[in-house]
């Protein structure tokens, strides 16, 4: 079984700040991390490898620094790493990203056929979740999104638990297929010492556009991206409501008064 | 892109034979956009035995409904739904297609965008059109803080967006509205489809009921630590409310991810929402700002949460909450005694 996990390097959005005067991002000192959903995807692929044999490769598109997230994947237990890196990829939206990643996946599968492609449910910077289904469409394999458990794997098919708005669907899909991973699928384990050592020295295979085959350059990067950012603006200010004044006791008293006619919404805890 | 692309479509998501709320909300905003552009608004219905639902889409604002009623569309699967939507979009060339940002809506939208090689903007919270340029202006919170970005798709059609549930408003149903139903067929056999739905289990997946809750007590990073966060649980217990959290509270490990409210969590519209130690970042407020009443406690008088709070209490939550819990507790017990007498 050969699983390829698409992994993205993202800014740690927890520490990004906006400059309120200019409405621009302040990226100074913002660390980059492996997209959390992709971390779970790599972990899941490694679990499957341990159970069923085979190997796990990871693929990333990004600047040379993105090597860091490939090394991180090696720590978790991935075997091989590929980085596609070229100015021509820069500025890609989800359509152009899925195109470039698909070209790399096609090249990988030539030497080592792929049974499953894993993506994260979404990347925490862009938050779209559009790249995975896009790759599946381009590779003409079924996409199954929002996977919270892989319940059975055979040579020809997999059975999956897919998270819905209000419950779960159990799905069987033929292989190869592409799935996108939810966080609840597993717990991230501590990296083993040998894997950590391996990661330190690991160098991914790096491909530029010229290494990929049958590429239509018009579909790459900024040129290949139908969407553009029109403008950035502060969200419309809303009228703030009423301020309650005074000591905590006084404020609470006013609140209790305000909520008098809403008390049927409250239920006394009987326990 | 061509001049032929005309009309606004809404993908009508059907679960258990009923149209999802978000699809009706999209018809509400779609109606406004269609009137501005002076084009028809259409609903797109795919499923098995769903043709009768066309009327409901018309009552909620659609002028036309495109229907493919076929047994292979019984439960949602990407392959047959993509085939159906792709066929309709190629035949009738709409200029805008809107989808709910639900698991299925996002799935189908992503697949269609790649199929039609067009742009798709995810998780929008505001929509408008530039009439002169016939451009959809799809706005969404952008990464990292209190900022919105408007995304445009200038040269490709259709322009597409997924929209968060519960941020748009549906129109009141008008049973007198008339519209046209256009039925098409899907030439796809079950054997050709590579995925099967074995079973669907409703409900039990959600251990936390935020969506249906009348009252939510949401705690943020301002609660300080896990122990401080216990006050949130105590207040919720006292008044029988559900507990929510900001992403920062979830990431601090104070409660599990299914409690998260906001852009990457749940969108909620309770009757009362307590936001305590919550700054009011846009990624949080998009998920709760349509609550009927918002009560905020924050020690920073300039915290953005006060801009949307119905009642704002400036102060230390760790001081205010014990007083509040005691007051509610007494009040409710009094009432109970009365009602049992
Ligand atoms: C792509 C993306 C998606 C996101 N999705 C979500 C999401 O779904 N949901 C979400 O919530 N966030 C989300 N965020 C994060 C969001 O931007 C904010 O960082 C987060 O909501 C802030 O959480 P907070 O209000 O708990 O913490 P803070 O912003 O740290 O605010 C804490 C507040 O508590 C107040 N405070 C401190 N001490 C006290 C005290 N003793 N008493 C009273 N008040 C006190 C402070 O004045 C402050 O206003 C997302 C971010 C990104 C980039
Ligand atoms: N530049 C990239 N390199 C590798 N994988 C990516 C990249 N961008 C997106 N992905 C994959 O697609 C998933 C969804 O990303 P997105 O559609 O941007 O939310 C991520 O979790 C990754 O698995």
Q: Report the pLDDT value the prediction gives residue B206, as an integer from 0 to 100.
A: 52
In this structure, are residues B40 and B9 in contact, taking their beta carbons and an 8 Å threshold?
A: no
Q: Is the CB of A120 under 6 A from ligand 2?
A: yes
Name residues whose C-beta falls within 8 Å of residue A187's C-beta, 6 or more positions apart in sequence.
A43
Confidence (pLDDT) at A17: 64
Which atom of ligand 1 sits closest to the CA of residue A16?
A: 53
pLDDT value at residue A127: 75
CA distance B25 to chain A (A): 17
User: Over 80: is that where the pLDDT of B316 sits?
Assistant: yes
Once rounded to an integer, what is the mean pLDDT over residues A240-252? 89
pLDDT the model gives residue A238:
65
Residue nearest to ligand 2 atom 8, measured at CA = A8
- Least CB–CB distance from B315: residue in A122, A172, A251: A251
DSSP B270-333: -SEEEEES----HHHHTTTTT-SEEEEEES-TT-THHHH-SEEEES-HHHHHHHHHHHHHHHHH
B142 → closest Cβ in A133, A232, A241: A232
Q: At what angle do helices A94-111 and A131-139 cross, to 10 degrees?
A: 50
Whether the predicted pLDDT of B341 surpasses 50: no
The arithmetic mean of pLDDT across residues B116-124, rounded, is 95
Question: Considering only CA atoms, which of A250, A258, A183, A227 is closest in space to residue B138?
Answer: A227
**Other residues' Cβ atoms within 10 Å of the Cβ of residue A193:** 8
Judged by its nearest atom, the ligand closest to the C-alpha of residue A99 is 2
Task: Report the candidate in B83, B79, B84, B80 with the shortest Cα–Cα distance to residue B67.
Answer: B84
Among A27-41, A197-211, B12-26, B133-147, whose mean pLDDT is lowest? B133-147
Domain boundaries of chain B, sorted by first residue: 8-192, 215-340
Could you name the CATH architecture of B8-192? 3-Layer(aba) Sandwich (3.40)
Q: What is the mean pLDDT of residues A18-33?
A: 68
pLDDT in tens, B144-157: 556 789 999 999 99
For residue B51, give every residue at least 6 positions away whose Cβ sits within 8 Å of its Cβ, in sequence order, or none: B45, B67, B69, B181, B183
Model pLDDT for residues B244-300, shown as the tens digit of each residue: 999 999 999 999 888 999 988 888 989 999 999 999 998 899 889 888 899 999 999
Ligand nearest to the CA of A127: 2
pLDDT at A234: 79
B positions 144-163 inside 8 Å of A (CB): 144-156
CA–centroid distance, residue B332 to ligand 1 (Å): 31
Q: What is the pLDDT of residues A100-112, one digit of tens each?
A: 999 999 999 999 9
Nearest bound ligand to CA A128? 2
**pLDDT tens sequence across A37-75:** 999 999 999 999 999 999 999 999 999 999 999 999 999
Q: Residue B201 to residues A167, B44, B101, B205: CA-CA distances in angstroms?
A: 6, 26, 21, 8
Nearest to residue B308, comparing CAs of B319, B295, B318, B325?
B295
Pick the range with the lowest mean pLDDT from B16-25, B257-266, B309-318.
B257-266
Residue of A61, A110, A114 whose CA lies nearest to A83: A61
- On the question of pLDDT at A269 being above 70, the answer is no
CA distances B30 to A27, A228, B27, B128, B187, Å, are 37, 22, 5, 9, 30
B200 chain-A contacts, CB cut-off 8 A: 164, 167-170
Cα separation, A176 vs B291, in Å, equals 44
Buried b or exposed e, range B58-83, using 16+ CB within 10 angstroms: bbbbbbbbbbbbbebbebbbbbbbbb
Q: Which two tokens stand for residue B21?
A: 């709320």
Q: Is the dihedral of CA B40, B45, B49, B54 positive or negative?
A: negative
CB–CB of A145 and B107 under 8 A? yes
The interface pTM score, or ipTM, of the predicted complex is 0.85
CATH class of A2-219: alpha beta
Looking at residue A270, its pLDDT comes to 43
CATH number for the domain running over B215-340? 3.40.50.1220
**Ligand 1 proximity of B262 Cβ (cutoff 6 Å):** yes
Pairing of strands A32-34, A9-11: antiparallel
B232 token code pair:
């949130």
Helix (H) / strand (E) containing A170: strand A167-174
Q: Is residue A150 over pLDDT 80?
A: yes
CA angle A187, B223, B229 (to 5 degrees): 60
Could you tell me which of A67, A128, A68 has the C-alpha nearest to residue A98?
A128
Sign of the four-CA dihedral B234, B236, B242, B248:
negative
C-alpha closest to that of A169 among B195, B172, B111: B195
pLDDT in tens, B189-244: 999 999 999 999 986 545 577 887 899 999 999 999 999 999 999 999 999 999 99
- Chain B nearest C-alpha distance from A201 (Å): 31
In this prediction, residue A20 carries a pLDDT of: 58
CA distances (Å), origin B217, targets A115, B182, B245, B270, B326? 45, 47, 8, 10, 16
Between A135 and A17, name the one with better pLDDT.
A135
Question: In whole numbers, what is the pLDDT of chain A averaged over residues?
Answer: 91
User: Which pLDDT does position A185 carry in this prediction?
Assistant: 96
Residues 197-236 of B with CB under 8 A from A: 197-206, 214-215
Ligand 2 atom with least separation from CA of A135: 12
Spatial separation of the C-alpha atoms in residues A92 and A228, rounded to whole Å? 10
Q: Tell me the mean pLDDT in the region B315-332.
A: 94
Whether A18 shows a pLDDT value over 70: the answer reads: no
Strand partners, B43: B10, B65
Note the pLDDT of residue A271.
Answer: 42
Between CA A157 and CA B129, with CA B15 as vertex, the angle to 5 degrees is 105
In the prediction, which pLDDT does B334 show? 78
Answer whether B190 touches A (CB < 8 Å).
no
- In the predicted model, what is the mean pLDDT of chain B? 92
């Amino acid at each position: 079984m050969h699983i390829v996990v698409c992994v993205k390097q993202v800014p740690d959005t927890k520490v990004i700040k906006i400059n309120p005067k200019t409405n621009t991002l302040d990226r100074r000192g913002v660390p980059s991390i492996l997209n959390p959903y992709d971390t779970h995807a790599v972990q899941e692929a490694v679990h499957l490898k341990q159970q069923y044999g085979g190997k796990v490769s990871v693929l990333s598109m990004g600047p040379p620094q993105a090597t860091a997230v490939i090394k991180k994947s090696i720590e978790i237990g991935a075997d091989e790493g590929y980085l596609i890196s070229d100015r021509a990829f820069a500025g890609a939206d989800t359509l152009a990203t899925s195109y470039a990643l698909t070209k790399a996946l096609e090249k990988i599968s030539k030497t080592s056929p792929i049974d499953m492609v894993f993506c994260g449910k979404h990347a925490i910077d862009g938050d779209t979740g559009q790249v995975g289904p896009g790759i599946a469409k381009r590779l003409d394999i079924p996409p199954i999104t929002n996977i919270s458990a892989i319940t059975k794997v055979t040579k020809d098919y997999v059975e999956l638990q897919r998270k819905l708005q209000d419950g779960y669907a159990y799905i069987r899909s033929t292989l190869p297929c592409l799935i996108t991973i939810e966080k609840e699928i597993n717990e991230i384990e501590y990296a083993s010492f040998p894997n950590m050592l391996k990661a330190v020295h690991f160098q991914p295979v790096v491909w530029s556009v010229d290494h990929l085959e049958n590429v239509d350059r018009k579909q790459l990067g900024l040129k290949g991206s139908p969407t553009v950012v029109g403008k950035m603006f502060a969200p419309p200010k809303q009228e703030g409501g009423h301020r309650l004044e005074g000591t905590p006791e006084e404020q609470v008293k006013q609140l209790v008064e305000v909520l008098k006619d809403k008390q049927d919404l409250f239920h006394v805890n009987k326990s | 892109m061509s001049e032929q692309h005309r009309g606004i479509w809404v993908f009508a998501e059907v679960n258990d034979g009923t149209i999802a709320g978000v699809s009706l909300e999209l018809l509400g905003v779609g109606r406004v956009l269609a009137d501005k552009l002076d084009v028809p608004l259409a609903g797109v219905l795919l499923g098995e035995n769903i043709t009768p639902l066309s009327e409901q889409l018309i009552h909620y604002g659609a002028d036309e409904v495109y229907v493919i009623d076929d047994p292979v569309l019984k439960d949602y699967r990407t392959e047959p739904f993509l085939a159906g939507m792709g066929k309709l979009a190629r035949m009738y060339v709409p200029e805008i297609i809107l989808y709910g940002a639900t698991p299925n809506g996002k799935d189908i939208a992503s697949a269609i965008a790649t199929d039609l090689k067009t742009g798709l903007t995810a998780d929008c919270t505001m929509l408008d059109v530039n009439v002169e340029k016939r451009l959809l202006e799809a706005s969404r919170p952008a990464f990292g803080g209190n900022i919105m970005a408007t995304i445009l798709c200038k040269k490709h059609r259709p322009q597409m967006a997924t929209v968060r549930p519960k941020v748009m408003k549906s129109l009141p149903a008008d049973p007198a509205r008339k519209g046209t139903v256009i039925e098409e067929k899907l030439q796809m056999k079950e054997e050709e489809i590579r995925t099967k739905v074995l079973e669907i289990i409703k409900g039990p997946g959600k251990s936390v009921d935020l969506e249906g809750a009348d009252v939510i007590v949401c705690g943020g990073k301002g609660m300080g630590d896990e122990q401080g966060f216990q006050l949130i649980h105590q207040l919720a217990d006292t008044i029988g409310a559900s507990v929510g959290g900001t992403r920062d509270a979830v990431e601090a490990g104070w409660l599990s991810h299914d409690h998260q409210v906001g852009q990457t969590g749940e969108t909620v519209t309770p009757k009362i929402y307590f936001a305590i130690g919550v700054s009011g970042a846009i990624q949080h407020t998009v998920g709760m700002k349509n609550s009927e009443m918002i009560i905020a406690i924050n020690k920073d008088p300039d915290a953005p949460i006060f801009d949307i709070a119905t009642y704002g209490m400036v102060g230390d939550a760790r001081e205010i909450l014990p007083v509040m819990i005691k007051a509610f507790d007494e009040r409710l017990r009094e009432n109970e005694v009365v009602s049992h007498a």
